[in-house]
Structure 1
Amino acid sequence: MIATLTAPPRPADPPLPVLLPAVRRREHLNRPGRTAAIALSGTLTAVVEVDGHAQSEDALARRGLRIRQAWDESAHQLIAAAQTLHGTRFWTRPVQGGGLQIRTDAAPASAWLAHPHPFRLLNEHLSALLATPQPVYLLPDSHTLLAFPDLPSPPASSAGRESWLSPRPLVWQRGFPAESH
């Protein structure tokens, strides 16, 4: 059967912007009252970004989303963006001290710590690669995520780490990045 059109085809709706999770230090949030954020730990928060810009609750509401919905959707989009025919893609390379540096294609590596579901996937993968039940993470900045089988020895000097995204080592705890002592 052949169909004929009586009107020109309607252009496709523009794609919705991709929501991605991101990790921020609480004290570094721009206008803390305006940026939509969810606490991850005592010092870290999750925000939802569009094109690298943290969204306000008002901006999310204009999309018909509450912060929790946007956070969940951003995690879903992060995982979907990392899928290949072979599974979820993480790039790793060895670093001094027996650890790995992690990189992903769709977002800064730190985004994988911004929601329990992607963090669980990452943590399980790195646990297997590092042969440890509890990797220890160092997070100097949003693009640099390091994982070790245990705290690097000797521990990196805490001098200079005050400016890191997370000045203390992190571990996975019930889906969230918890400070390791």
Structure 2
Amino acid sequence: MSIVTTPPTALIPAIHPYSWSESTLGGPHRAFIALSADLCMGLHALSHQGHDLVMPGRPLSLHDVGELGLSVHRAWDEAAHRIIDFARTEEGIGVRTRRIQKHIGIRLPGLQVSTYGAPPGSWLAHPYPFELLHEHIQGLLGCEPHYLLPREDLLIAFPAGHPRLAEAQRWARRQGPTLPLAALRFDGGFPARVHPDG
């Protein structure tokens, strides 16, 4: 029997390749929800990385979540609301962006996105925060965005169908990727892979 020391208020959703959800070597079954054929959300305990940033810490098992008296779905919802609360400022919900043309050395009219409190990948791990973020980025770009998320903490948004995507993916490959390098689109609140034909 394990002892769960993580209160429900200390959960964070994290985005992972779908293969992460598979139990390893007979270990505990991870608490996850499939987001697409390529990605899943895993529930994690919070790991503080300074006074204003939290990152996903230890992954939780199904047993851990049950010990909290929550279903995985309920814990997912609560964790999503928590990351929005982390980002709340007096002015609203804090999202920082910067133009990426100079930063990555590619003439791609896009934005690097960072979020207050939790990494941007956590925002893509639940429909509610992803919709808030997507609508904000769509307003800034003035068009439908697609995304590159090579790591939980590195999100690039750019105009859908941009011809320099392959160059941006090569750049992302040099950033120590832990997630698939396919471009992602917003699909009813979920991150879905952009297929080459559209």
Q: CA deviation at 1:154?
A: 2.2
1:47 aligned to which of 36, 42, 47: 42
Q: What is the aligned partner in structure 1 of residue 146 from structure 2? A: 136
Is 1:172 the equivalent of 2:186? yes
Identity rate of aligned residues, in percent?
Answer: 39
Residue in 1 that maps onto 2:19: 27
Work out the CA distance in 2 between the residues paired with 1:64 and 1:16: 9
Alignment of 1:27-106 (within 5 A): 27-29=19-21, 31=23, 34-51=29-46, 52-96=57-101, 97-106=108-117
Matched residue count = 167
Q: Which consecutive unaligned segments of at least 5 residues does structure 1 have?
A: 1-14
> Aligned partners of 2:10 and 2:163: how far apart in 1?
39
Structure 1: 4+ residue segments shifted above 3 A: 157-161
Cα deviation, residue 30, structure 1: 6.7
The amino acid that maps onto 2:35 is L
Structure 1 Cα separation of the partners of residues 62 and 116 of structure 2: 27
The aligned runs of 1:99-178 (5 Å cut-off) are 99-132=110-143, 134-157=144-167, 161=173, 164-178=178-192
Q: Normalised by the size of structure 2, how large is the TM-score?
A: 0.77
> RMSD between aligned alpha carbons?
2.3
Q: CA deviation at 1:101?
A: 0.6
For normalisation by structure 1, the TM-score amounts to: 0.84
C-alpha contact (below 8 Å) 2:122/2:152 kept by paired residues: yes
Q: Where does the alignment leave 5 or more consecutive residues of structure 2 unmatched?
A: 1-6, 47-56, 102-107
User: Which protein has the larger Cα radius of gyration, Structure 1 or Structure 2?
Assistant: 1
